[in-house]
Amino acid sequence: MKLASVPITLTQCAKTFRGTRVLEPLDLQIGAGETLVLLGPSGCGKTTTLRMIAGLETPDAGGRIAFGDEDVTALPIEKRQVGMVFQSYALFPNLTVRGNIGYGLKIKRVPAETARQRVDELLAMMRLTAHADKPIDQLSGGQRQRVALARALAVQPRVLLLDEPLTALDARLRDTLRSEMNTLLRELGITTVYVTHDQAEAMELGDRIVVMSAGRIEQIGSPREIYYRPANRTVAQFVGTINRLAGEQRDGMLTTAGGAVPLPSNRARASAAQEFFFRPEDAYLADPASAQLRGSIESTAFLGERTRLTIGGAAPDPLLVDVAGRVELARGTPVGISIERDALIALS
Ligand SMILES: Nc1ncnc2c1ncn2[C@@H]1O[C@H](COP(=O)(O)OP(=O)(O)O)[C@@H](O)[C@H]1O
Ligand SMILES: [Mg+2]
């Protein structure tokens, strides 16, 4: 199935509900065919942003939304050619799978033969052919999710909008569907805005991620940029786990409780900060005699493919260090830690 896709531009889109500003004016550009993920904690304004793009909410005066060259700010949802999938799916319980997928085509009075062909194609694409004539309540959660997606795609939208489509599913199924979703979005090549509070989903699906908090954009970037070069603490703490290393900067070293760590070679980034951050997987255990920092094991968490160590005494805060392999260390064991070169991040 080949879909037309269109770039989207939001210019100074703010939103106020009954006197309360829930979204600060935001600017956003989404490329044709791009998957943009809105990531942030509950209540930060993701759904509101998505609903403005859909045409279900109007931005405050002054805000503008364009699909390609077309200003759609005043265009109602039914004229925007968007497909939407909600967390709740909102399927019609009294219709069959086929009835649900074809619903929008019926409303649009698409000729019956064309509609049947398109529904058949979507049934095959979503591996639902064998379930075509079943009522919705006989389907599993994952199948319902695929029906909702097929229904959104049936009308050949130029934009696909997904609001936490996997959140209602259990963890195992969510993992499977996430990678299916990834394959599907690449195949379709449709401009997609995907809302989630789940960073793993954001990382896997997003060409770019918009990290939001409290009605504001904190950072826009590729998954790698967001993870390795977080713009500030809010982003660093929301995406992945990060350690804080506070101390005193002197002669290219940061001296802290358990030793000293060489600072990043990029001096401009290091500036005069007295505090740096690093990811648990960017540190490793080393011989205490030659390690950068010394501390002792406070606790260990076995996570299967890796073990997360909590190490006290090395820095003002306990440090988390991830190690691979069959490591077993008792509480109180003295350890040395070194940090990968240039893994330290300075954050405002
Ligand atoms: N229709 C509404 N009326 C009043 N407040 C709303 C409405 N919709 C959303 N809000 C508020 O706007 C804020 C952002 O909500 P929302 O966009 O749903 O966040 P998210 O999807 O990131 O969880 C929340 O504080 C929410 O309570
Ligand atoms: Mg929401």
Confidence band, pLDDT 50/70/90 cuts, at residue 327: confident
Residue 324 scores a pLDDT above 80: yes
Lowest mean pLDDT among 71-75, 99-103, 339-343: 339-343
What distance in angstroms lies between residue 6's CA and the mean position of ligand 2's atoms?
A: 24
Question: 118 and 165 share a domain?
Answer: yes
Question: 118 and 164 share a domain?
Answer: yes
Residue 2 scores a pLDDT above 70: no
Question: 250 and 147 share a domain?
Answer: no
CA-closest residue to ligand 1 atom 3:
17
Region 31-51: mean pLDDT is 97
Q: Which of 238, 272, 299 represents a domain boundary (last residue)?
A: 238
Quote the pLDDT of residue 3: 77
CA-closest residue to ligand 1 atom 12:
22
Q: What's the sign of the alpha-carbon dihedral 39, 43, 49, 51? A: positive
Quote the pLDDT of residue 266: 66
Cβ atoms of 53 and 162 closer than 8 Å:
no
Q: Is 64 helix (H, G, I), strand (E, B) or coil?
A: strand
**3-state secondary structure string across 289-346:** CCCCEEEEEEEEEECCCEEEEEEECCCCCCEEEEEECCCCCCCCCEEEEEECCCCCEC
Does any ligand 1 atom lie closer than 6 A to the CB of residue 5? Answer: no
Question: 219 and 252 share a domain?
Answer: no
Q: How far apart are CA 145 and CA 112, in angstroms?
A: 25
What distance in angstroms lies between residue 276's CA and the mean position of ligand 1's atoms?
A: 34
Residue among 315, 311, 324, 323 nearest 344 (CA): 315
Give the single-character DSSP code of 45: S
Q: Which atom of ligand 1 is nearest to the CA of 15?
A: 12
Q: How far apart are CA 248 and CA 342, in angstroms?
A: 17
pLDDT tens digits along 217-274: 999 999 999 999 999 999 998 999 999 999 998 888 999 999 999 988 765 455 677 8
Question: 248 and 121 share a domain?
Answer: no
Quote the pLDDT of residue 159: 96
Residue with tokens 């993870």: 227
Confidence band, pLDDT 50/70/90 cuts, at residue 87: confident
Residue among 82, 95, 104, 91 nearest 147 (CA): 91
Cβ atoms of 338 and 293 closer than 8 Å:
yes
DSSP E strand stretches across the chain? 8-17, 20-30, 35-39, 64-67, 70-71, 82-85, 159-163, 191-196, 208-213, 216-221, 243-246, 248-250, 253-256, 259-262, 275-278, 283-286, 293-302, 306-312, 319-324, 334-339
Would 62 be classed as within a structural domain?
A: yes
Provide the CATH number for the domain around residue 17. 3.40.50.300
pLDDT tens digits along 51-71: 999 999 999 999 999 999 999
User: 274: which residues sit within 8 A by CB, 6+ positions away?
Assistant: 246, 247, 248, 249, 254
Q: What is the mean pLDDT of the chain?
A: 93
Cβ atoms of 266 and 279 closer than 8 Å:
no
Confidence band, pLDDT 50/70/90 cuts, at residue 90: confident
**Ligand 1 pocket test target in 16, 21, 22, 84 with most atoms within 8 Å of CB:** 22
Question: 88 and 200 share a domain?
Answer: yes
pLDDT tens digits along 260-309: 999 887 654 556 778 899 999 999 999 999 999 999 999 999 999 899 99
Quote the pLDDT of residue 75: 96
Residue 114 scores a pLDDT above 80: yes
pLDDT tens digits along 181-200: 999 999 999 999 999 999 99
Confidence band, pLDDT 50/70/90 cuts, at residue 341: confident
CA-closest residue to ligand 1 atom 6:
17
What is the DSSP code string of 162-176?
EESTTTTS-HHHHHH
Would 344 be classed as within a structural domain?
A: no
CA-closest residue to ligand 1 atom 24:
43
Q: Which of 222, 238, 254 represents a domain boundary (last residue)?
A: 238
Would 128 be classed as within a structural domain?
A: yes
Confidence band, pLDDT 50/70/90 cuts, at residue 325: confident
Question: 216 and 292 share a domain?
Answer: no
What distance in angstroms lies between residue 17's CA and the mean position of ligand 1's atoms?
A: 8
Query: Domain range holding 63?
Result: 8-238
Residue with tokens 């058949």: 120
Does any ligand 1 atom lie closer than 6 A to the CB of residue 44? Answer: yes
What is the DSSP code string of 6-24?
--EEEEEEEEEETTEEEEE
CA-closest residue to ligand 1 atom 8:
48
Does any ligand 1 atom lie closer than 6 A to the CB of residue 41? Answer: no
Distance of CA 341 to the CA centre of its chain: 28
